[in-house]
Amino acid sequence: MKLTDLNVDEIAFIASMDGDSDFTARLMEMGFAKDLQIRMVKKFPFKGPIQVRIRNFLLSLRYDDAAKIQLKIK
């Protein structure tokens, strides 16, 4: 499942991050890592940005970037 498919207040774990090496490096610099718990906080309409909580802080991502993050439910 993609991060964009997660509903508000649902929790999942990062399975993989698709995209080129610059994109994945940028995500890793922001704190994203495989098997890290992630919770959807807010989704804006019309494929707007999404807000997630990871490592006890909030991050906003563009919809297209969030669609490149694959999740798993444990």
* Phi-psi sector, 7: left (phi>0), alpha (psi -120 to 50), beta: beta
Q: What is the domain-level CATH number for residue 15?
A: 2.30.30.90
First vs last C-alpha separation in the chain: 12
Contact status, residue 10 vs residue 64, Cβ threshold 8 Å: no
| Residues 14-54: tens digit of each pLDDT | 999 999 999 999 999 999 999 999 999 999 999 999 999 99
What value does the mean pLDDT take over residues 46-65? Answer: 96
Q: How far is CA 7 from CA 1, 61, 71, 74, in A?
A: 11, 15, 12, 16
What is the residue range of 66's domain?
3-72
Check residue 23 and give its pLDDT: 94
Total domain count, the chain: 1
Assess whether pLDDT exceeds 90 at residue 74: no
Contact status, residue 66 vs residue 50, Cβ threshold 8 Å: yes
